[in-house]
Amino acid sequence: MQIGDPFVRHSCYSFQVLEGLRTGDFNELGLWPSRDPAEVDEPSQETLIGQFMRWKDLVKKYAGVSKMLDPREMFLLAVAVQRWPGPVLEIGTHKGITTCFVAEVMHQLKRHDQIFTIEMFLKGWKAHNGEDGFPGDSYLKALQEFRSQAVLHRVVPILGNSHELKPLIWGIRPAVIFLDGDHTRDGVADDLLLLRFFNHPYICIIHQANVPSVMQAVLDLRAGGRHRFANFHTGTAGDKGLIALTPV
Ligand X SMILES: C[S@@+](CC[C@H](N)C(=O)[O-])C[C@H]1O[C@@H](n2cnc3c(N)ncnc32)[C@H](O)[C@@H]1O
* Contact positions vs ligand X (CB under 6 A): 66, 68, 91-92, 94-95, 97-98, 118-120, 134-135, 161-163, 180-182
**Judged by CB, which is closer to ligand X: 165, or 175?**
165
Smallest distance from ligand X to CB 244, Å: 16
**Judged by CB, which is closer to ligand X: 17, or 205?**
205
Contact (CB, 8 A) for 216 and 184: no
Residue among 181, 176, 201 at smallest CA distance from 191: 181
Smallest distance from ligand X to CB 162, Å: 4
Smallest distance from ligand X to CB 240, Å: 10
How far is the C-alpha of 107 from the C-alpha of 25, rounded, in Å? 35
Residue 120, classed as helix, strand or coil, is coil
**Judged by CB, which is closer to ligand X: 70, or 119?**
119
Contact (CB, 8 A) for 207 and 67: no
Contact (CB, 8 A) for 179 and 191: yes
Smallest distance from ligand X to CB 100, Å: 8
**Judged by CB, which is closer to ligand X: 86, or 92?**
92
In order, the DSSP letters of 157-214 are EEES-GGG-HHHHHHH--SEEEE-S--SHHHHHHHHGGGGG--S--EEEEETTTSHHH
**Judged by CB, which is closer to ligand X: 95, or 222?**
95
Residue 139 has, within 13 A of its CA and on its CB side, a CA count of: 21
Smallest distance from ligand X to CB 203, Å: 17
